Chain A
Amino acid sequence: DIQMTQFPSSLSASVGDRVTITCRANESITNFLNWYQQKPGKAPTLVIYAAYSLQRGVPLRFSGSGSGTDFTLTIGSLQPEDFATYYCQQSHTSPPTFGGGTKVDVK
């Protein structure tokens, strides 16, 4: 299985901050990388697919980049509703696998 590693595992930030989360695969997954947001007690929701494509309805402050093994999710200006845990997921090779998550909380 392809191993997905996210860092940091948690970070503290303030409203208005620019936040960057990193995801690394242990082998190349080209651009087949998705990002999800999960709030406590809720299911994950899709934020970014194919590394940089914004899911419909997701605010433009979210962006994704990267290819190969290294990817980033950036929140341009953190809003109160963005405090959550974010997961990356590779869809390059079955079985699809997820990173361990990055929790974004209030500084």
Chain B
Amino acid sequence: QVQLQESGPGLVKPSETLSLTCIVSGSSMRGFYWSWIRQSPEKGLEWLGYSYFSGSTKYNPSLQSRVTVSVDTSKNQFSLKLTSVTAADTAVYYCARRTDKGDWRLGNFFDHWGQGILVTVSS
């Protein structure tokens, strides 16, 4: 049974760096894209970026300069760093596994998610 679990501080001060970790169990990290998605009432569900198991990354252009996703396959975990946070970054943050089906016609999808962690940006 695949499980993902986010951890990190629930409160971050403005202008500081938000750092979260996602521990993966029940799944190899090999062959998957490990993603971060956040949800807020204002913006809804917003994809932040991913790291492939090999370490290659892709980010949402709207956050490109502030976001970093990295994978540590030896620990079966991956992490998110978001710099220079503001109140607009207050959201529930989810880690998720993106699966790409072997058949390209089936595209890709987020088939396993963590429970989510609320991060509030406030002084």
Q: Which residues of A contact B (CB under 8 A)?
A: 1, 31-32, 34, 36, 42-46, 49-50, 53, 55, 87, 89, 91-92, 94-101
The distance in angstroms between the C-alpha atoms of A90 and B58, with both chains bound, is 16
A-B contact pairs, 10 of them (CB 8 A): A43-B114, A44-B110, A45-B113, A49-B109, A49-B111, A50-B105, A89-B110, A92-B107, A96-B47, A98-B44
A44-B110, A46-B110, A50-B109 given; name 11 further pairs at CB < 8 Å.
A43-B94, A43-B115, A46-B109, A46-B111, A49-B111, A53-B106, A89-B45, A91-B107, A97-B47, A98-B45, A100-B44
Residue numbers in B under 8 Å from A94 (CB-CB): 58
Residue numbers in A under 8 Å from B62 (CB-CB): 1, 95
The yes or no answer to B56 lying at the interface (CB within 8 A) is no
The answer to whether A34 and B113 touch (CB under 8 A), given A96-B47, A98-B44, is no
The yes or no answer to B60 lying at the interface (CB within 8 A) is yes
The yes or no answer to B108 lying at the interface (CB within 8 A) is yes
| Chain A min CB distance to B107 (Å) | 4
Q: Say which size band chain B's interface belongs to.
A: 20 to 34
A interface, over-half SS: loop
Complex contact B44–A101 (CB within 8 A): yes
Complex contact B60–A44 (CB within 8 A): no
1/0 per residue B61-99: CB within 8 Å of A?
110000000000000000000000000000000101000
| Chain B min CB distance to A38 (Å) | 9
Choice from B46, B47, B107, B115 contacting A32 with Cβ under 8 Å: B107
The distance in angstroms between the C-alpha atoms of A100 and B105, with both chains bound, is 25
Choice from A91, A97, A99 contacting B109 with Cβ under 8 Å: A91
Complex contact A91–B108 (CB within 8 A): yes
The distance in angstroms between the C-alpha atoms of A32 and B58, with both chains bound, is 19
